[in-house]
């Protein structure tokens, strides 16, 4: 820390944020993620935070590690084994976990929701957040011997935004035209966006954003046939619905620290968590992809196993399509949400594991979260609003709900009972998952699951902005859009949080969604597995995992 | 006999043709959902349309059907949208696994249920008959999903993994892993076949020629083995052939409960993912098995019962 001004060249906002941390206006976590966002390396950011707060250098996770890691062994993971021909069109996280051990991402979001450079050394946004310079890590080699260069990165961006690829990344980079991908030299790529975008780094860790080789398409566009990657493992055996076996690449070829595990084997036990948990209990696997909340008890009873938990921004929202009767009337929507007791639903639906939500889809773990006054169940208000809207004699509604996971049905069943005193008769239309995803963005009233995203504005842009790619409620409010635009341009989380007050309030008042809860997610592992964590989005980061009895 | 086989073959082909046309028509209304299940829910409509176009889904229905039919006749059932590989590559290993499970189950069901059925039917109303009937009805009335959970609870959980409750595909299917799924099938099915055998046996035992044989002083053993059994086993034979049919659909529950990667599981996965070509191929296999077992049963009938002769 001899030169205290070195970091000021990274981004103009950084000194200001550092100052705020010193004055304790923002917390350490916010500082870390914003500093990382602005292109500061994680090590430097953690060091600086320690210096500013006087807490000294605390390394995350590694600080708790006392044992000496052991090399070797096979980590057996119970998870569905699915096809993985094209990483850009992955539609299941499981697929990305198989590929994640072979392929790598430009950035990495850790289990604390902080994003770090990964295949990048750093990134540098312009002040208007429209130009992003990506500085590639040097010395990275593909497992076919080629060097990792800017053309690799540019090729991936091109195929993501090409509609013919069919990648869901296209929506994340909709402001990036093909001409906006500029290769400056072998180690620098610059993105020229049409609109400011705060979340470029986070988007680069979206699970279909694994970086494939520049000749991926020339080689037939089939990752199973040509599993070329930069990661520490290579594909040894693969059968869909069977086994995906990955073996360690010679460590001298890999750019990062040597990984501990010799082998990772994904073993398929079919759909649903039941048989997979059986295998975990029987010691046939060391960890699993996910366990359901109802399985926590049986795992905790077993002395060989431990439950791993992550707080997430995963949720489900009872969203009302504002273009369909009777939800065109704001009073009807307000009456529906007024009947919701969020804390109670968290208890009933999710055994209290998580946090109550506030009908605005910004989670307390998001850096820009602004706490609005707590919502209260208000039947008088609900009845009054219904009477005004012309439903004094009651209202019949039907909501589409998926049949699994069970908490979704249970929560809506409880909500149905909460609606009754106000004279709203809710019927549940329970349907299979695949059927639900055909109508999720069309039905008048549906209970839609939303996955975790690192930033609050990301969901706002996708789901509630006028014409947003996944705007399932058809919500359109110029005032909201304008407020959101301002928030999108604010790098500083404290400043953005102040702006989010407005965004959250508009969405909450317009009563587009009745959102019961934020849920924690769980997985479990055998105690012989060391250093394993549950990632909020179940991404498997096994580079530092080792086995106590390999 | 030959005429029968020819006729049956023709009928089989016709049934398969009709079924395949019907399935195609049903899925015609669900074209969008195919793109959805391939590209995932988070893609735009435009992306899905490009995919459908590129994969020939916008060609007229008859064109697509004929293309499928032509390929199917040469043994190519198309490509699974869910697995993104040829249906043949997925279907046959799965069918092999189910055949293995079915064979193990049948190897227990047939001798067990025939023995118990004959023992029960020999003396209708006896304590032995009552006891066997009671057990048969009890096990048959417990649904497969319940007995599967029950057995897992006992053998995998309570007895600390004495027998595995799941099938680990990492190193092939071992006999230990077959025991519980086969046991569920046996529990569910043996009682039914035993009851059918019992009814048939009891009926034969009541006929005049048996009474005559006993009255003329033949040893009881000889009466049963030489006179009663052959006649009593004709109806159970048909019932047993029908069980092969039942196995193809009946295994779904068992295979899902034990994560056993067989035909039933494949059919379920295909159905929940609108994997039309896999469903088509599975259905063709099911029709084939149904008609084939029926034909075998008819032919076998002729051998067992000389009174039955097939017309031309």
Pair A302, B184: CB distance under 8 Å: no
Helices and strands of chain B, counted as H and E runs: 14, 0
> CA–CA separation, A358 vs B64, rounded Å?
50
Q: pLDDT class for B293, splitting at 50, 70, 90? A: confident
Give A-chain residues touching B50 at CB under 8 angstroms: 163-164, 166
pLDDT at A438: 87
> CA–CA separation, A236 vs A369, rounded Å?
44
Of A165, A434, A470, the CB nearest to B37: A434
Does the pLDDT value for residue A43 go beyond 70? no
pLDDT at A149: 96
- Tell me how close the Cα of A462 comes to any Cα of chain B, in angstroms: 11
Q: pLDDT class for B250, splitting at 50, 70, 90? A: confident
How many degrees, rounded to 5, is the angle at CA A414 between CA A410 and CA A419?
Answer: 145
Closest Cα in chain A to B42: A168
DSSP codes, B121-140: HHTTTSHHHHHHHHHHHHHH
Q: How many CB atoms lie within 10 A of CB B103?
A: 12
pLDDT digits (tens, 9 = 90+) for B207-233: 888 888 888 888 888 888 888 888 888
pTM above 0.95, yes or no: no
pLDDT digits (tens, 9 = 90+) for A387-414: 999 999 999 999 999 998 889 999 999 9
Please answer yes or no on whether A166 and B32 come within 8 Å at the CB atom.
Answer: no
- Give the residue-averaged pLDDT of A349-377: 90
pLDDT at B185: 92
**What SS3 state is found at A124?**
strand
> CA–CA separation, B106 vs A87, rounded Å?
44
> CA–CA separation, A199 vs A191, rounded Å?
13
Residues 70-89 of A with CB under 8 A from B: 76, 83, 85, 89
pLDDT at A52: 67
Strands (E) in A417-532, as ranges, are 424-431, 445-450, 513-514, 517-526, 529-530
- Tell me how close the Cα of A83 comes to any Cα of chain B, in angstroms: 6
Whether a cis peptide bond, with omega within 30° of 0, leads into A515 is: no
SS3 per residue for A253-287: HCCCCCCCCCEEEEECCCCCCHHHHHHHHCCCCCE
Cβ of residue A64 closer than 8 Å to a chain B Cβ: no
Q: B77: which DSSP letter?
A: -
Return all residues near B137 (Cβ < 8 A) that are at least 6 apart: B191, B195
Six token digits for residue A299: 């795992």
Strand pairing category for A263-267 and A243-248: antiparallel
Cβ of residue B33 closer than 8 Å to a chain A Cβ: yes
Of A91, A270, A434, the CB nearest to B272: A434
Return all residues near A245 (Cβ < 8 A) that are at least 6 apart: A235, A236, A237, A238, A263, A264, A265, A266
Please answer yes or no on whether B265 and A278 come within 8 Å at the CB atom.
Answer: no
Q: A212: which DSSP letter?
A: P
User: What would you measure as the largest C-alpha separation in chain A, in angstroms?
Assistant: 75
Please answer yes or no on whether A282 and B165 come within 8 Å at the CB atom.
Answer: yes
pLDDT at A104: 96
Q: Which residue has the higher pLDDT, A434 or A217?
A: A217
> CA–CA separation, B71 vs B93, rounded Å?
20
Residues 392-451 of A with CB under 8 A from B: 432-434, 437-438, 440
> CA–CA separation, A334 vs A291, rounded Å?
35
A406: Cα separation from own chain's centroid: 21
Pair A73, A547: CB distance under 8 Å: yes
> CA–CA separation, A432 vs A402, rounded Å?
6
pLDDT at B155: 85
Please give the C-alpha separations between residue A9 and each of A13, A75, A215, in angstroms, as whole numbers: 10, 43, 36
Return all residues near A305 (Cβ < 8 A) that are at least 6 apart: A280, A281, A299, A524, A525, A526, A527
A162-176, A524-538, B163-177, B261-275: segment of lowest average pLDDT: B163-177
Please answer yes or no on whether B50 and A166 come within 8 Å at the CB atom.
Answer: yes
Cβ of residue A240 closer than 8 Å to a chain B Cβ: yes
- Which among A273, A292, A457 has a CA at the least distance from the CA of A363? A457
| ipTM, 2 dp | 0.75
Please answer yes or no on whether B42 and A269 come within 8 Å at the CB atom.
Answer: no
Q: pLDDT class for A4, splitting at 50, 70, 90? A: very low
Give B-chain residues touching A243 at CB under 8 angstroms: 169-170
Instruction: Report percent pLDDT > 90 for chain B.
Output: 12
Six token digits for residue B25: 């028509």
């Amino acid at each position: 820390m001899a030169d205290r001004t070195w970091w000021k060249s990274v981004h103009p906002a950084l000194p200001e944020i550092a100052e705020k941390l010193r004055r304790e206006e923002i917390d350490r976590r916010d500082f870390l993620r914003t500093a990382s966002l602005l292109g500061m390396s994680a090590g430097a950011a953690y060091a600086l935070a320690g210096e500013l707060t006087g807490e000294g250098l605390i390394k995350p996770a590694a600080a708790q590690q006392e044992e000496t890691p052991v090399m070797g062994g096979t980590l057996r993971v119970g998870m569905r084994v699915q096809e993985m021909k094209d990483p850009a069109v992955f539609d299941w996280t499981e697929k990305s976990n198989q590929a994640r051990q072979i392929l790598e991402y430009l950035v990495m979001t850790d289990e604390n929701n902080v994003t770090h450079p990964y295949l990048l050394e750093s990134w540098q946004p312009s002040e208007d957040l429209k130009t992003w310079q990506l500085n590639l890590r040097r010395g990275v080699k593909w497992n076919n011997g080629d060097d990792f260069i800017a053309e690799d990165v540019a090729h991936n961006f091109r195929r993501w935004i090409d509609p013919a690829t069919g990648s869901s990344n296209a929506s994340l980079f909709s402001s990036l035209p093909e001409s906006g991908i500029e290769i400056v030299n072998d180690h620098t790529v610059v993105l020229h966006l049409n609109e400011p975008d705060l979340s470029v780094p986070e988007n680069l860790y979206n699970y279909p954003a694994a970086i494939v080789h520049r000749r991926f398409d020339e080689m037939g566009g089939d990752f199973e046939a040509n599993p070329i990657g930069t990661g520490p493992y290579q594909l040894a055996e693969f059968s869909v619905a069977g086994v995906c076996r990955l073996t360690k690449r010679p460590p001298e070829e890999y750019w990062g620290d040597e990984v501990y595990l010799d082998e990772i084997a994904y073993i398929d036990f079919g759909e649903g968590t039941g048989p997979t948990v059986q295998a975990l209990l029987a010691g046939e696997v060391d960890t699993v992809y996910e366990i359901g909340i109802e399985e926590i008890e049986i795992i905790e009873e077993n002395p060989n196993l431990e439950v791993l938990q992550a707080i997430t921004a995963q949720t489900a929202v009872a969203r009302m399509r504002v273009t369909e009767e009777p939800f065109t009337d704001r009073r009807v929507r307000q009456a529906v949400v007024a009947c919701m007791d969020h804390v109670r639903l968290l208890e009933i639906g999710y055994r209290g594991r998580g946090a109550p939500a506030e009908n605005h889809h910004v989670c307390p773990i998001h850096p820009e979260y602004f706490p609005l006054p707590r919502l209260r169940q208000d039947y008088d208000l609900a009845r009054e609003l219904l009477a005004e809207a012309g439903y004094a004699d009651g209202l019949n509604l039907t909501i589409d709900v998926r049949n699994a996971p069970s908490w979704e049905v249970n929560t809506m069943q409880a909500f149905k009972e909460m609606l009754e005193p106000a004279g709203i008769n809710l019927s549940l239309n329970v349907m299979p998952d695949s059927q639900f995803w055909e109508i999720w963005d069309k039905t008048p009233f549906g209970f839609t699951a939303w996955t975790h995203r690192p930033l609050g504005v990301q969901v706002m842009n996708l789901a509630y902005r006028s014409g947003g790619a996944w705007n399932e409620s058809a919500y359109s409010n110029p005032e909201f859009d304008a407020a959101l635009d301002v928030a999108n341009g604010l790098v500083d989380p404290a400043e953005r949080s102040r702006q989010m007050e407005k965004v959250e309030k508009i969405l909450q008042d317009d009563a587009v969604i009745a959102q019961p809860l934020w849920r924690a997610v769980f997985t479990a592992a055998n105690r012989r597995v060391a250093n394993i964590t549950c990632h909020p989005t179940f991404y498997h980061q096994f580079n530092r995992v080792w086995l106590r009895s390999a | 006999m030959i005429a029968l086989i020819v006729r049956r073959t023709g009928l089989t082909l016709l049934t398969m043709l009709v079924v395949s046309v019907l399935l195609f028509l049903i899925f015609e209304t669900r074209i969008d959902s195919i793109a959805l299940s391939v590209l995932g829910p988070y893609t735009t409509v435009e992306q899905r349309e490009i995919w459908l176009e590129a994969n020939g889904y916008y060609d007229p229905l008859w064109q697509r059907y004929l293309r499928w039919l032509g390929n199917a006749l040469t043994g190519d059932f198309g490509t699974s949208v869910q697995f993104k590989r040829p249906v043949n590559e997925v279907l046959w290993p799965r069918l092999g696994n189910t055949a293995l499970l079915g064979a193990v189950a049948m190897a227990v069901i047939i001798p067990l249920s025939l023995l118990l059925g004959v023992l029960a039917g020999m003396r209708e109303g006896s304590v032995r008959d009552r006891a066997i009937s009671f057990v048969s009805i009890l096990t048959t009335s417990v649904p497969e999903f319940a007995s599967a959970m029950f057995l897992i609870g006992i053998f995998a959980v309570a007895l600390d993994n004495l027998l595995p409750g799941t099938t680990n595909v990492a190193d092939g299917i071992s006999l230990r892993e077959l025991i519980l799924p086969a046991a569920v099938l046996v529990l569910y099915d043996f009682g039914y076949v035993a009851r059918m055998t019992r009814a048939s046996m009891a009926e034969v035992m009541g006929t005049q020629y048996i009474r005559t044989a006993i009255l003329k002083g033949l040893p009881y053993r000889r009466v049963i083995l030489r006179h009663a059994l052959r006649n009593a086993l004709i109806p159970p034979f048909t019932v047993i052939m029908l069980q092969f049919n039942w196995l193809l659909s009946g295994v779904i529950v068992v295979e899902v409960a034990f994560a056993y990667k067989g035909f039933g599981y494949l059919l379920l996965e295909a159905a929940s993912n609108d994997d039309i070509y896999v469903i088509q191929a599975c259905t063709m296999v099911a029709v084939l098995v149904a008609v084939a077992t029926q034909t075998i049963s008819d032919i076998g009938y002729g051998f067992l019962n000389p009174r039955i002769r097939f017309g031309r």
